[in-house]
């Protein structure tokens, strides 16, 4: 069962060959048995999962089943789950059990899906290797057979590793600068960062509010489309969520790609990209040509400014978003504070990890009197230029294609002492968040036995087209079906 | 040396919305601590703000009532600082693009002149919670019921030059926001709080002196005292050749003392930036016109109407029109008692005195305008004397009876105005006081004679069991004693 897709599991449940409770129990057993190798889960919520499975069986018996009813999956531990610990990968929230659900959580519950637990992640989604988690690093299922412990990418590294290791068929992720696409690429799975405002952020613990976006992580574009059918849509509880009709993302998966105009941004095929990686990406583009697409080079002249702008805007927003973790109302509080200032400083010094502290300091600095114009305002101007680059590019092409990462999954510990090299992991993904447009990572080959991702970038609200392009590619390739040994 | 005093005000006005500015929690005052604070108010992880449209409507109404430009595109920013009663670690407020732009309010001064005070801007923001430092054995309690209550902060230009002007402005603003119905105006519950910026400069000088800000004054009286106190403090320093430190001060009204809260150097760097959880708010013509259509009669227009329609003098019209509820009470009184001057006197006299004595608002008055109107009618038609009317008022206030005529009957307060009956009483009383009559008639000084009349009134009122019309008794007495 563990190799089956969401669509296939749904059929099994429909046929009555297995009940939701039986399926959940099978997955839970395997998860507990296998996850020691990966550390991809922070919390396994057996009790709630089995209760949800029981309700799913009742839903099915009552004739109210959806595609998702009884299908197991997992949430990144950034989505609040009523009654189940939500840690965001931090000591600060080590014992935090929210009394409410995120909107995304609510929607999966309403569809009858069975959440097995909460996946590991970089602390407060800050990281590209899943090594900043308070609950320990996650190991990429790829490379393990050679005895190598490689990173799964981050920050949604637990979700990516769990899906790649067949612990769950699908998991939610969030993407602020590449946190869905980069781990999807490094773990050989399919991930989509939707248009900003397409998926509600309510109950999704904020890192950088103007960039954060939840999205699907699964093995195929079809399953990602099924997830989008649940996740997408307006939410009155999120003022930045956009009120716009949600299509059935599975309805257009089989549209032919003939005439699809693909642009290759020349800035994303630079010398930062290893020749072996570039070869895999270009091979994938050739498959699209065989499917009837046309290809041309395009330019995103301001792309090189994206990392600099991002590392002002994201930390600036984070510095304020993380102020609520003060030890007053919930979460970690230092022992025996002498006075208020002591409580604040020690709570935050002890409760946050180094990467989080680094970004709070950077962000506070960028917003300080005397520096605001030079950093924050300048970065916002750059952000508009980057956005305009994409708008211009989409006048001539339907989608852009590029690598997701400069290189495949690296060995744990390799970049932890060099934050800038870690930040460069997201060199091809970050501009997309600044522009607010959607993009996917699709398995597109291997380099040295490690997965390579193809990034497909679309115009605002073009998720259906991206999923269609990915699905058609997955009909003629089998990269997404490869299983780590 | 002669000094010019320069005063500017910042006024926090709590908006009377039913729910908070960014959450659905109730804003009602006085609930058990933290019972009106939901996940958003507690800044639980992942929660997001959703703006309350009514707060924007109220802010726009305020802007229209103060002749201000409305900010067509206003933006919320985060003001970052740590405090236990500030759950998010930042206050969501407006800075660069406030909802209300420059406007002005005219105030009436005691000498009869009018002064224009300019408003720099007014912005929407959320209130913080409250820290409770008592009863927690050395610890502090936090009540977040108030956290997220919508406020408009009104910032004036430094256009006031005396405590009197500042208080007149504050009262005018109170009158405006209560008339608009956008604030309950209850100062004791913190519905309006004043920060006063004060500086002194040599008389006639163009250059402003260094200012101090005295924060969180919550009554007109404290505000007046705090200004007097701060002006004196600054004057002492300057006249001794010292310099004023730019700082924030706290005034203790009970002790008439102030102390420094923080200096400019200690001030926070609030690291304002646009709140990424809230999109800029676009205010269109339709919204503004809708708000305009909701504007009630404003105090200035009401005062003019009271003078015109009821023939009140400037002072009475000013007092009765200033407070929306008092004005409504006055007009309700007039519906049942036509004599406007009499009604005005009773409302400003007995009625206001009793409210003040019992610390009640007009809304809490046990007497309705209709009842007072009925009483005014009975005073005007001579059914009761003013002394009798006070007894009726007392019975109404205490709830002993709610009908004016029934009280008059029950208490036997009806005046006897039958001239024949009164004349025979006068004859009887005068017959029993021959010495006093002789004394009166031999007196030439009219003043002394007038005074001596009082000596007959007592026995007359006694003879009539207090029910004789004193005015008629007086007339009859004068006539009979002359004859």
pLDDT classification of B414: cutoffs 50, 70, 90: confident
B266, B291, B316: which is the final residue of a domain? B291
Q: Are residues B475 and B451 in the same domain?
A: yes
Residues B383 and B448 both lie in one domain: no
Q: Which of A39, A38, A125, A140 is nearest to A86 (CA)?
A: A125
Mean pLDDT of B211-240: 95
Of B43, B46, B273, the CB nearest to A203: B46
- Name the CA dihedral angle for A422, A426, A431, A432, rounded to a multiple of 10 degrees: -140
Same domain for B116 and B199, yes or no, is: yes
Q: Which of A97, A199, A212, A328 to mutate: most B Cβ within 10 Å?
A: A328
Regarding whether B126 and B208 lie in a shared domain, the answer is: yes
| β-sheet bridge partners, residue A455 | A402, A441
Query: By CA distance, what is A366's nearest residue in B?
Result: B271
Q: Examine the domain organization and report whether B252 and B162 are in the same domain.
A: yes
Q: Which helix (H) or strand (E) holds B233?
A: helix B220-239
**pLDDT at residue B417 is higher than 80:** no
3-state SS, A106-138, equals: HHHHHHCCEEEEEECCCHHHCCCCCCCCCCCCC
Q: What is the largest CA-CA distance in chain B?
A: 97
Burial letters B128-146, b for 16+ CB under 10 A, else e: bbbeeeeeeeeeeebbbbb
| Among the ranges given (A113-122, A255-264, B251-260), the one the predictor scored with the smallest mean pLDDT | B251-260
Q: What kind and span of H or E run contains A401?
A: strand A399-403
Residue B265 has pLDDT above 80, yes or no: no
The reply to whether A201 touches chain B by the CB within 8 Å rule is yes
Give which of A425, A345, A329 is closest to A126, Cα–Cα.
A425
Cα–Cα dist A7/A223, whole Å:
7
Residues 6+ apart with CB under 8 A from B356: none
Which residues of A are catalytically annotated? 76, 155, 179
Q: Chain A partners of B90 at a C-beta cutoff of 8 Å?
A: 320, 323
Tens of pLDDT along B9-66?
Answer: 999 999 999 999 999 999 998 899 999 999 999 999 999 999 999 999 999 999 999 9
Residue that terminates a domain, selected from B410, B429, B448? B410
Percent of residues, chain B, with pLDDT higher than 90: 70
Tokens (6 digits) for A4: 């089956």
Residues B152 and B202 grouped into a single domain: yes
Query: How many angstroms separate the CA atoms of A450 and A434, rounded?
Result: 29
CB atoms within 10 A of CB A475: 13
In chain A, residues with a C-beta closer than 8 Å to the C-beta of B276 are 208-210, 240, 317
What domains can be seen in chain A, in order of their start residue? 1-485 (3.90.1300.10)
DSSP string, A144-208: GGGT--B---SSSHHHHHHHHTTS-SEEEEE-SSSTTHHHHHHHT-EEEEPPTTSB--TTB--SS
Mutant choice from A324, A342, A360, A362 vs B, greatest count of B C-beta within 10 A: A324
Reduced DSSP (H G I as helix, E B as strand, rest coil) percent helix, strand, coil of chain B, to 5 = 40, 20, 40
Q: Is the pLDDT of residue A134 over 80?
A: yes
pLDDT at A176 over 90: yes
DSSP symbol at A285: H
For B52, which residue in chain A has the nearest alpha carbon?
A239
Q: How many domains does chain B have?
A: 3
Q: Looking at residue B105, what is its pLDDT?
A: 96
State mean pLDDT over A104-111. 98
CA nearest A432: which of A180, A223, A204? A180
Instruction: Let me know: does B164 contact B121? Beta carbons within 8 Å.
Output: no
In whole angstroms, give the CA distance from residue A410 to residue A277: 14
Q: Do B343 and B438 lie in a common domain? A: no
* Residue from A348, A290, A392 nearest A91 by CA: A348
CA dist A378 and B255 (Å) reads 51
User: Tokens for B306?
Assistant: 């009271």
The model's pLDDT over A28-47, given as tens digits with 9 standing for 90+, comes to 999 999 999 999 999 999 99
pLDDT at B483: 66
Report CB contact under 8 Å: A324, B78.
no
B38, B42, B43, B48: best mutation site toward chain A, by most A Cβ within 10 Å?
Answer: B48
Residue scoring higher pLDDT (A350 or A424): A350
What is the rounded CA–CA span in Å between residue A198 and residue A203? Answer: 15
* Range name among B229-238, B293-302, B454-463 with the lowest pLDDT average: B454-463
Find chain B residues with C-beta within 8 A of A323's C-beta: 80, 82, 88-90
Rg over CA atoms, chain B: 29
pLDDT digits (tens, 9 = 90+) for B425-456: 888 888 888 888 888 888 888 888 888 888 88
Q: Which of A86, A237, A239 sits opposite B51 (nearest CB)?
A: A239
| Whether residue B184 sits in one domain with residue B242 | yes
Cross-chain CB nearest to B82 (options A206, A239, A326): A326
Distance, in Å, from the CA atom of A311 to the CA atom of A432, rounded to the nearest integer, reads 14
Output the six-digit token pair for B396: 């109404």
Tokens of A30: 């395997």
pLDDT at A58: 98
Per DSSP, B252 falls in state: E
Asked if residue A180 lies in contact with residue A192, where contact means CB atoms within 8 angstroms, the answer is yes
How far apart are alpha carbons A42 and A53 in whole angstroms? 21
Query: How many Å apart are CA B368 and CA B418, to the nearest integer?
Result: 32
Q: Residues B181, B158: one domain? A: yes
pLDDT at position A234 over 80: yes
Q: How far apart are CA B110 and CA B164, in angstroms?
A: 9
Q: What is the mean pLDDT of chain B?
A: 92
The answer on pLDDT for B465 being more than 90 is no
Show which residues on chain B lie within 8 Å of chain A, measured between beta carbons: 39, 42-51, 78, 80, 82, 84, 87-90, 142, 269, 271-273, 276-279
**SS3 breakdown of chain A: % helix, strand, coil, rounded to 5?**
45, 15, 45
Query: Tokens at residue B47, please?
Result: 């929660």
Read off the CATH number of the domain in which B463 is found.
1.10.10
Q: Which residue of B has its CA nearest to A365?
A: B271
Residues B282 and B196 in one domain: yes
Which residues, other chains included, contact A226 with Cβ-Cβ below 8 Å and sequence gap of 6+? A6, A7, A67, A68, A170, A218, A249, A250
Question: Are residues B127 and B85 in contact, defined by beta-carbon separation less than 8 angstroms?
Answer: no
pLDDT digits (tens, 9 = 90+) for A434-443: 999 999 999 9
Count the alpha carbons within 13 Å of A35 in the hemisphere toward its beta carbon: 28
Residue A324 in contact with partner chain B when CB distance is under 8 A: yes
Per-residue confidence (pLDDT) for residue A39, from 0 to 100: 98
User: Which residues, in sequence order, are bridge partners of residue A44?
Assistant: A117
Average pLDDT, chain A: 97
Single out the residue of B477, B482, B466 nearest to residue B423, CA to CA: B477
- Out of B291, B316, B337, a domain closes at B291
d(CA B440, CA B435) in angstroms, rounded, equals 9
CB pair distance less than 8 Å for A203 and B80: no
Decide if the complex's ipTM is over 0.90.
yes
> Do residues B316 and B278 both lie within one domain?
no
Q: CA-to-CA distance for A172 and A10, rounded, in angstroms?
A: 18
Cβ(A433)–Cβ(A213) below 8 Å: yes
* Residue of B41, B43, B45, B136 to mutate, interface with A, max A Cβ within 10 Å: B45
SS3 at position A324: helix
Cβ–Cβ under 8 Å, residues A151 and A131: yes
Distance from C-alpha of B118 to C-alpha of B14, rounded to nearest angstrom: 21
Could you tell me which chain B residue has the CA closest to the CA of A330?
B44
Dihedrals φ, ψ of A216, to 5°? Answer: -85, 150
CA distance B456 to B446: 16
Confidence of residue A74 (pLDDT cuts 50, 70, 90): very high
- Measured N-to-C along each axis, helices B324-336 and B299-310 cross at an angle, to the nearest 10 degrees, of 20
Total residues found in chain A within this entry:
485
User: pLDDT for B148-161, tens place per residue?
Assistant: 999 999 999 999 99
Once rounded to an integer, what is the mean pLDDT over residues B128-145? 87
The token duo for A266 is 């020349």
The parent domain of residue B199 ranges over: 3-291
- B113 and B135 part of one domain: yes
Q: In this complex, is the C-beta atom of A409 within 8 Å of any C-beta atom belonging to chain B?
A: no
Locate the chain B residue with the closest alpha carbon to A237.
Answer: B50
Least reliable range by pLDDT among A193-202, B50-59, B118-127, B466-475:
B466-475
When pLDDT is averaged across residues A337-362 and rounded to a whole number, the result is: 97
Closest Cα in chain A, distance from residue B279 (Å) = 7
- Which pLDDT score, from 0 to 100, does residue B140 have? 85
Instruction: Dig out the tokens for A99 from the structure.
Output: 């009394």
Portion of chain A with pLDDT greater than 70, in percent? 100
Long-range contacts of A82-86 (CB under 8 A, 24+ apart): A83/A48, A84/A43, A84/A45, A84/A48, A84/A115, A84/A117, A84/A118, A85/A42, A85/A43, A85/A118, A86/A118, A86/A205, A86/B45, A86/B46
Backbone angles phi, psi at A73, to 5 degrees: -160, -175
Report pLDDT digits (tens) over B366-397: 999 999 999 999 998 888 888 889 999 999 99
Nearest to A408 by CA among A219, A270, A277, A218: A277
């Amino acid at each position: 069962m563990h190799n089956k897709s969401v669509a296939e599991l749904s059929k099994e449940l429909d046929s009555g060959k297995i009940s939701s409770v039986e399926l959940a129990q099978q997955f839970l057993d395997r998860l507990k048995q296998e996850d020691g190798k990966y550390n991809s889960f922070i919390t396994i919520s057996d009790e709630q999962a089995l209760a949800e499975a029981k309700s799913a069986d009742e839903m099915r018996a009552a004739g109210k089943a959806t595609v998702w009813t009884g299908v197991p999956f997992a949430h990144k531990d950034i989505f609040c789950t009523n009654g189940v610990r939500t840690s965001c990968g931090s000591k600060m929230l080590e014992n935090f059990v929210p009394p409410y659900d995120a909107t995304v959580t609510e929607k999966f519950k309403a569809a009858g899906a069975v959440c097995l637990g909460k996946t590991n992640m970089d602390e407060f989604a800050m990281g590209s290797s899943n090594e900043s988690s308070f609950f320990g690093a996650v190991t990429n299922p790829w490379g393990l057979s050679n005895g190598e412990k490689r990173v799964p990418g981050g920050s949604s590294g637990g979700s990516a590793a769990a899906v790649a290791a067949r612990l769950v068929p699908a998991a939610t992720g969030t993407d602020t600068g590449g946190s869905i696409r980069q781990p999807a690429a490094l773990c050989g799975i399919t991930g989509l960062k939707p248009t900003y405002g397409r998926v509600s952020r309510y109950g999704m613990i904020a890192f950088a509010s103007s960039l954060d976006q939840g999205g699907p992580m699964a093995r195929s574009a079809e399953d990602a489309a099924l997830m989008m059918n649940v996740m997408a849509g307006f939410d009155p509880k999120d003022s930045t969520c956009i009120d716009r009709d949600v299509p059935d993302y599975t309805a257009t998966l089989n549209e032919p790609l003939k005439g699809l105009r693909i642009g290759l941004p020349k800035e994303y095929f630079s010398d930062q990209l290893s020749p072996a990686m570039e070869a895999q990406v270009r091979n994938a583009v050739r498959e699209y040509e065989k499917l009837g697409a046309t290809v041309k080079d395009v330019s995103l002249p301001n792309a090189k400014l994206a990392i600099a702008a991002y590392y002002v805007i994201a930390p600036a927003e984070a510095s304020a978003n993380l102020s609520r973790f003060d030890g007053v109302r919930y979460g970690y509080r230092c022992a025996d504070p002498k006075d208020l200032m002591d409580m604040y400083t020690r709570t935050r010094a002890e409760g946050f990890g180094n990467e989080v502290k680094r970004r709070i300091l950077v962000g506070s600095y960028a917003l300080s009197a005397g520096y605001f114009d030079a950093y924050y305002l300048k970065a916002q101007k750059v952000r508009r230029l980057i956005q305009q680059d994409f708008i211009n590019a989409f006048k001539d092409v339907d989608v852009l294609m590029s690598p997701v990462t400069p290189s495949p999954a690296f060995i744990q510990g390799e970049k932890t002492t060099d934050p800038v090299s870690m930040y460069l992991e997201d060199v091809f993904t970050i501009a997309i968040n600044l522009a607010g447009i959607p993009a996917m990572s699709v398995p597109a080959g291997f380099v040295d036995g490690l997965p390579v991702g193809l990034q497909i970038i679309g115009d605002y609200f073009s998720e259906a087209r991206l999923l269609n392009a990915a699905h058609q590619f997955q009909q003629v390739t089998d990269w997404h079906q490869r299983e780590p040994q | 040396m002669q000094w010019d005093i320069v005063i500017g005000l910042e006024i926090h006005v709590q908006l009377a919305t039913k729910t908070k500015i960014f959450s659905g929690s109730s804003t009602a005052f006085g609930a058990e601590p933290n019972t009106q604070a939901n996940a958003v108010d507690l800044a639980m992880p992942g929660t997001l703000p959703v703006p309350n449209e009514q707060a924007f409507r109220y802010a726009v109404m305020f802007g229209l009532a103060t002749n201000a430009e409305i900010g067509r595109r206003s933006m919320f920013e985060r003001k970052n600082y740590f405090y236990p009663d500030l759950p998010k670690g930042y206050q969501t407020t407006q800075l660069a693009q406030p909802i209300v732009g420059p406007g002005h309010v005219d105030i009436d001064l005691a000498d009869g002149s009018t002064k224009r005070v300019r408003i720099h801007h007014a912005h929407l923001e959320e209130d913080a919670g409250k820290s409770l430092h008592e009863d927690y054995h050395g610890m502090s309690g936090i009540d977040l019921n108030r956290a997220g209550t919508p406020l408009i902060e009104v910032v004036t230009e430094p256009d006031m030059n005396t405590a009197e002007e500042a208080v007149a402005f504050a009262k005018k603003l109170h009158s405006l926001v209560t008339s608009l119905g956008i604030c309950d105006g209850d100062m004791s519950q913190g519905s309006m709080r004043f920060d006063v910026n004060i500086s002194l400069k040599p008389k006639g000088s163009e250059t402003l002196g260094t200012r101090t800000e005295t924060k969180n004054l919550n009554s007109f009286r404290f505000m007046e005292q705090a200004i007097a106190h701060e002006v004196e403090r600054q004057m002492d320093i300057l006249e001794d050749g010292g310099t004023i430190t730019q700082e924030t001060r706290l005034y203790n009204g009970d002790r008439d003392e102030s102390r420094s809260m923080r200096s400019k150097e200690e001030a926070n760097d609030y690291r304002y930036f646009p709140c990424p959880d809230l999109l800029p708010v676009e205010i269109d013509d339709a919204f503004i016109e809708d708000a305009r259509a909701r504007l009630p009669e404003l105090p200035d227009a009401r005062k003019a109407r009271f003078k015109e329609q009821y023939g009140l003098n400037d002072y009475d019209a000013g007092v009765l029109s200033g407070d929306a509820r008092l004005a409504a009470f006055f007009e309700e009184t007039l519906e049942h008692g036509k004599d406007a001057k009499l009604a005005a006197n009773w409302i400003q006299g007995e009625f206001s005195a009793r409210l003040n004595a019992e610390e009640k608002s007009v809304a809490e008055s046990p007497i309705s305008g209709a009842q007072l109107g009925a009483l005014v009618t009975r005073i005007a038609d001579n059914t009761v004397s003013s002394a009798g009317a006070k007894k009726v008022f007392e019975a109404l206030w205490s709830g002993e009876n709610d009908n004016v005529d029934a009280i008059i009957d029950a208490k036997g307060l009806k005046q006897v105005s039958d001239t024949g009956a009164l004349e025979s009483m006068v004859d009887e009383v005068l017959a029993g006081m021959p010495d006093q009559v002789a004394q009166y008639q031999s007196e030439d000084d009219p003043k002394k004679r007038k005074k001596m009349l009082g000596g007959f009134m007592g026995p007359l009122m006694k003879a009539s069991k207090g029910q004789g019309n004193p005015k008629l008794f007086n007339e009859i007495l004068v006539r009979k004693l002359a004859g």
